[in-house]
Amino acid sequence: MTKPKGTLPSTKPVTVPTLRAMKRAGERITMVTAYDATFARLLDESGVDMLLVGDSLGMVVQGLDSTLPVTVDEIVYHCRAVARGTQRAHIVGDMPFMSWQISPEDALRNAARFLSTGGAHSVKLEGGRNAAGTIERIVNAGIPVVGHVGLTPQSVHAMGGFRVQGKTEDAAARVFDDARAVADAGAFALVLEGIPSDLAAAITDAVAIPTIGIGAGPSCDGQVLVCYDLLGLTPDLRPKFVKRYAEWFEEGKRAAARYCEEVRSGAFPTDEYAFGQVRREDAGPSASPLPGTSLPSNPERRPGPAYGPVA
């Protein structure tokens, strides 16, 4: 039975069976990237179902122009931070470039680190038919896998840039076959990135696992956005598929500029933000922590001038 859309999520932790059940019930899944404990807490408390510790952190956190240099160690480090800020959401650790292609043993060892050290609940890897064997191996080891087909940013050079995939019938058939292979290999969910909406709809109908779209139109079982995009923290990037729900970069700049003004003018800090005066028991010249000055005497105990240089 299809549940009404837009209802508040339950507070129970989101698990792999929860996500499968959401597809069956026709409930839309929300996924957002997170890279630290504070953003994780914010997104978790706002009801986001899945937090992706994406290799996009290379671009939005590290300032790189691709995700290729991001390492397993870095993603594991960010997973740990996200796990500390999360109570409910399902955490996915993104397997970076070359972390699964070298050998099945290497893939398994790296995937395991996201769960054992990083505190993630599953891993995501970019690849289609070429990744199916590895996905099967990781899933057989008890590690849930999210697939990722279509525009796969780690293949930026092979694709000749960040380009929409599957635009011709042949290309669409290849993306479709990739999606099927990933689902057949045992992935429990599938990110569809940068593909035409009708292709995403056909894949969503054809596979039993939830599809999570980014630039893949409205028919997917869920949607994912990079948190910096969603919150308006990426001033120079305005991809067509991103809807901004806040303008935090501009708001943050205004707040920081006001802070600078107030520090420069002396308006901040006022007494409200300060720790008052040193408590004086029986202060004498020898009690001063400052060379050459005495502590001011306590006017309630010892009437007289409050401050004065020590002779």
For the annotated catalytic residues, the residue numbers are: 193
Residues engaged in binding ligand KIV (CB under 6 A): 33, 52, 54-56, 94, 191, 193, 214, 224, 226
Q: Which CB atom, from 211 or from 297, has the smaller least distance to ligand KIV?
A: 211
Tell me the residue ranges of DSSP E strands in the chain: 29-33, 50-53, 90-94, 122-126, 145-150, 189-193, 211-214, 222-225
Contacts 24+ apart (CB under 8 A), 136-140: 136/185, 136/186, 137/104, 137/107, 137/108, 138/100, 138/107, 138/108, 138/111, 139/185, 139/186, 139/187, 140/186
CB of 109 to ligand KIV, least distance (A): 21
d(CA 165, CA 206): 18
CB of 53 to ligand KIV, least distance (A): 8
CB of 17 to ligand KIV, least distance (A): 22
Q: Which CB atom, from 16 or from 68, has the smaller least distance to ligand KIV?
A: 68
Q: To 5 degrees, how large is the angle CA 221–CA 143–CA 204?
A: 20
Q: Which CB atom, from 196 or from 297, has the smaller least distance to ligand KIV?
A: 196
Q: Which CB atom, from 139 or from 242, has the smaller least distance to ligand KIV?
A: 242
CB of 227 to ligand KIV, least distance (A): 9
Instruction: Report which residue's Cβ sits closest to ligand KIV.
Output: 54
d(CA 182, CA 191): 11
